[in-house]
């Protein structure tokens, strides 16, 4: 298993470096891209006044691919998108509407006991009894939690984020954008898709799939890949072809799944 994990890490490193090279454009090159994603993640096409002023950027073929990679439109263009246009496609996938996190209700208190999803998981997964911030016992202050992403143990709750293994934005871009608000809420609070993780690693991961990010704790990587794919299957979410090729290689490096 150790050799498989090392192999998987090597494959991911090579694949990610190739992916980065395929997107990155050199400023002022003879053939500049159709769209420049600036360092502030704004997507500028050649009709934008900011296009020529953007000297440090990542290049894309279209606005759709720039947005799918985490970019965003300038405010002046946000309301001008024609979501039905044939140009708005991303490697065979129909154009996805803009993501709004508020459309995915999360950290709900469904049983009305004042403890939302995050704090209930903090209570359930603490290795020792937790301490609360007040006598009402709504919010957890401390306990002891093992973070599988880093392989480290934490005792203060605010050092941990409650991470969606399959990120909300990733789900949105792979079929979830068409869901009802009720189904989005179900996904956002599904215990199968939640894990406590070091806050900085959760933010480093962002909305990336397993083709772009894996936990630095190598011993957990194959389990993470398994959990990610199980959630994708549970909710009928679909990888695009370029992602699927990388995902299949990672699964094979882990020895396949049962």
Distance between CA 157 and CA 136 in Å, rounded?
17
pLDDT tens, per residue, the chain with 258 residues: 444 444 455 444 534 443 333 344 434 445 788 888 888 888 888 877 788 888 888 888 776 667 666 777 775 544 333 332 233 334 444 456 788 888 999 888 877 889 989 999 999 999 999 999 999 999 999 999 999 999 999 999 999 999 999 999 999 999 999 999 999 999 999 999 999 999 999 999 999 999 999 999 999 999 999 999 999 999 999 999 999 999 999 999 998 754
Parse the chain into domains and list their residue ranges.
2-22+103-253, 32-98
pTM of the model: 0.64
Distance between CA 147 and CA 153 in Å, rounded?
6
User: H-helix or E-strand containing 142?
Assistant: strand 140-147
89 Cα distance to chain centroid: 20
Helices marked H in the chain — which ranges?
2-23, 63-68, 75-78, 117-125, 168-172, 181-188, 199-205, 221-234, 241-253
Q: What phi and psi, each to the nearest 5 degrees, are found at residue 242? A: -65, -35
Strands of the sheet containing 140-147, edge to edge, are 131-132, 140-147, 152-156
């Amino acid at each position: 298993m150790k050799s498989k994990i090392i192999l998987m890490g090597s494959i991911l490193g090579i694949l990610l470096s190739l992916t980065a090279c395929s997107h990155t454009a050199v400023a002022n090159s003879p053939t500049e891209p159709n769209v420049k994603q600036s360092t502030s993640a704004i997507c500028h096409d050649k009709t934008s006044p900011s296009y020529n002023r953007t000297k440090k950027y990542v290049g894309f073929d279209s606005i759709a691919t720039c947005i799918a990679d985490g970019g965003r439109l300038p405010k002046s263009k946000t309301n001008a998108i024609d979501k039905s246009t044939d140009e708005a496609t991303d490697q065979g996938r129909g154009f996805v509407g803009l993501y709004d996190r508020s459309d995915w209700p999360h950290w709900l208190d469904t049983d009305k006991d004042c403890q939302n999803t995050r704090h209930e998981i903090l209570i359930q997964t603490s290795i020792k009894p937790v301490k609360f911030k007040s006598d009402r016992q709504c919010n957890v202050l401390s306990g002891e939690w093992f973070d599988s992403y880093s392989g480290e143990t934490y005792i203060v709750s605010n050092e941990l984020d409650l991470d969606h293994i399959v990120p909300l934005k990733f789900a949105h871009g792979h079929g979830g954008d068409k869901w009802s608000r009720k189904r989005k809420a179900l996904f956002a609070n599904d215990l199968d898709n939640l894990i406590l993780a070091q806050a900085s690693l959760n933010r480093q991961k962002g909305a990336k799939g397993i083709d772009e990010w894996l936990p630095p704790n190598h011993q957990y990587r194959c389990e993470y890949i398994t959990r990610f794919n199980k959630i994708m299957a549970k909710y009928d979410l679909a990888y695009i072809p370029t992602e699927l090729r990388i995902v299949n290689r990672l699964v094979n490096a882990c020895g396949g799944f049962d």
